[in-house]
Chains A and B, each alone.
Chain A
């Protein structure tokens, strides 16, 4: 069965752990609406898996959670997944939402120039406030809740 969208959810530090839990809402939404998806979580959020999936499954929407910089979106253990001038053509004809620092600044622009339909991301650092007493349980963090809501609203 063909997946409609891909979501990457590494979980190797406290910061991406929040994104991991935030994305559960997106996944639940998709499940409730019977929208097909593939969830590359934890170690599965690696370059080999992502490139193979983008090449063979051709999803319409891709949601990347992870660290990044102006030219890079990262996955598990900060392995670069999509890198400007290396493989951004894999994003051709797709809609991308990259929750990664700075990736819209250069990578996003380059991807769109090379055929990506839409690249939604952040030109500056992505940040949010948290309750330090809830870092181990992001799903209970009321301070981070508004940031989760606005990020998930994009999807």
Chain B
């Protein structure tokens, strides 16, 4: 079983590779690339949600949607 920290590293790499013009509107907030990375690094509630969302996306991609 992959540890959460390993998953977080993967998600951070994905976020780093994201184009800078992409923002996420989530829960009434607007987050740019740097803010998304910060939330994930700090393990905030939003950061954990971002990790969970990214992981779900990757799993669904693997399963062929």
User: CB of B60 within 8 A of chain A?
Assistant: no
What CA separation (Å) do A67 and B21 show in the bound complex?
Answer: 24
What residues on A are CB-neighbors of B24 within 8 Å? 127-130
| Number of A-B residue pairs at CB separation under 8 A | 41
What residues on B are CB-neighbors of A14 within 8 Å? 25, 30
Would you call B22 and A127 a contact (CB within 8 A)?
no
Say yes or no: A143-B22 contact (C-beta < 8 A), given A15-B30, A132-B32: yes
User: CB of B28 within 8 A of chain A?
Assistant: yes
What CA separation (Å) do A133 and B20 show in the bound complex?
Answer: 10
User: CB of B38 within 8 A of chain A?
Assistant: no
User: CB of A101 within 8 A of chain B?
Assistant: yes
What residues on A are CB-neighbors of B21 within 8 Å? 131-133
Chain B residues at the A interface, C-beta cutoff of 8 Å: 21-28, 30, 32, 49, 53
* Most chain B beta carbons < 10 A, residue from A14, A15, A127: A127
What CA separation (Å) do A127 and B31 show in the bound complex?
Answer: 11
Rounded to whole Å, the gap between the CB of A15 and the closest CB of chain B is 5
Which residue of A125, A126, A129 contacts B22 across the interface (Cβ within 8 Å)?
Answer: A129
What residues on A are CB-neighbors of B53 within 8 Å? 127
Nearest B-chain residue to A125, judged by Cβ: B27
Interface residues of A in 28-45 (CB under 8 A from B): none
Which residue of B23, B30, B32, B49 contacts A125 across the interface (Cβ within 8 Å)?
Answer: B49
